[in-house]
Structure 1
């Protein structure tokens, strides 16, 4: 299968490298990328030759969140269209989370919004030193609704509250401290750290790994259709607020939204 926004390669050991390939857009999530990631999750899940999947980004970014053109499309869309598009993102994240293979994030650079969501559906993540993270949706007058079940499961409600409400950016050591990533490595040591993370899986039974992942998810709060629909409804409601219109317009016009005071230093 040919992909435009991602690439996939599998080495002789069964390590699949899944790479986001929109480096000019900092690997931001577009509608096409969401569809392609959903499709590749199914392919990798069914491929018995694949033992481990490593998710990374091309260039200097891991994933900068939502694509600019996607944001413009959502501004003009109907409520039903917005819900449908958000559902596609939610089901893509769920497909990656439910992948019956170990999924390791190689966080090669910045990860914002949906990029944090992608990290959260992985079983482990190693970040490069200097990587920056943020749940930045409230800067746009929006909420991190679609990704929130996965982020909450990863970092817990307290950290989700602190970082999602403030939209503050944070560094790799902080990401490790809250459990978003499991390790941090210097740039020239990132691949070695990824290798150390994936090597133990080759001693484990592939079927037992899949069953254990399913078990772990069954022990956690459910992320089912009811939860997904709740997040989609809340997101659609937020899209219809005046502050969302102002926040997104300000973002597109490269200015501060009206709720930002002139001096935030005091």
Structure 2
């Protein structure tokens, strides 16, 4: 394993896998390479009977900043077929994480925005430090969070998903806990220890029973995604990203200016 890989994966003797998002220079924002690495890693973990628990964290100060804006801007210019493939990469990664037949734990430090919040929504357990900051921020750059939208509603309920997914506003860890995005909030110096305590609890659960229970919870409530739904979500994402509004929002972000739809500051 090389430290320059976009995703680091380690499995200890207990069957605890550590998945580290490893692009700290861009706050662990994902691009096609990170998504491909995540899919490969999740497939490996799903197939490995020795793996019991998966802990996902970010390298450095932040958990995950969503999609890499530079990549999104490139993808906005892709031909339709390639643009769809780019959106399906996110949609498929989130689906694999959501349905992984293992106990998954998100360990959240620092910033957690856009698709990063989607990762948290797809994990079974989420624990954040007190100083963590969250946001479902896609609409602020003119794109739509469709690859994570079903998972947002699943985790937050429609009422909270509508507020935070439509305004894109930021909120703190206490609010994230109140609306159900995270289960626990702890002091920064306690985060590692608290995650390890929950890992120990998770290892007491029978792995076969975990897999069946998770599948039944998701299946019975309609939270598994079929091919048709995934295709629609990916298509919708690609269409908005390639729109004039999407291109304006991404350009404004890169140029550090307000997008055309935002009111001027007085």
Regions of 4+ moved over 4 Å? none
Larger RCO (CA within 8 A; separation ≥ 6): 2
1:69-218 correspondence to structure 2 within 5 Å = 69-218=70-219
Q: Which residue of 2 aligns with 1:244?
A: 246
Q: Please, which moves more after superposition, 199-208 or 169-178?
A: 199-208
Q: Which residue of 2 aligns with 1:263?
A: 265
Query: Deviation at 1:117?
Result: 0.8
Any idea what the Cα deviations from partners look like across 1:73-96, whole Å, max 9, x if unmatched? Answer: 112212221111111111111111
TM-score w.r.t. the length of structure 1 is 0.95
Query: Deviation at 1:17?
Result: 1.0
CA RMSD between the two structures: 1.5
Any idea what the Cα deviations from partners look like across 1:119-171, whole Å, max 9, x if unmatched? Answer: 11100100111111111111111111111111111111111110011110011
Query: Deviation at 1:234?
Result: 2.0
Query: Deviation at 1:244?
Result: 1.6
Query: Deviation at 1:263?
Result: 3.0
Distance, in Å, in 1 between the alignment partners of 2:10 and 2:238 is 37
TM-score w.r.t. the length of structure 2 is 0.95
1:9 equivalent in alignment to 2:10? yes
> Could you tell me which of 231, 235, 238 is aligned with 2:237?
235
Query: Deviation at 1:192?
Result: 1.6
Query: Deviation at 1:42?
Result: 1.0
SS in 2 for 1:48: coil
SS in 2 for 1:61: coil
Query: Deviation at 1:214?
Result: 0.5
Q: Which residue of 1 aligns with 2:220?
A: 219
Distance, in Å, in 1 between the alignment partners of 2:108 and 2:202 is 20
Q: Which residue of 2 aligns with 1:56?
A: 57
Any idea what the Cα deviations from partners look like across 1:22-75, whole Å, max 9, x if unmatched? Answer: 111100001100000000001111222211110000101100011133122112
Structure 2 residues without counterparts, runs of 5 or longer: none
Distance, in Å, in 1 between the alignment partners of 2:228 and 2:47 is 27
Q: Please, which moves more after superposition, 37-46 or 72-81?
A: 72-81
Distance, in Å, in 2 between the alignment partners of 1:45 and 1:221 is 21
SS in 1 for 2:210: helix
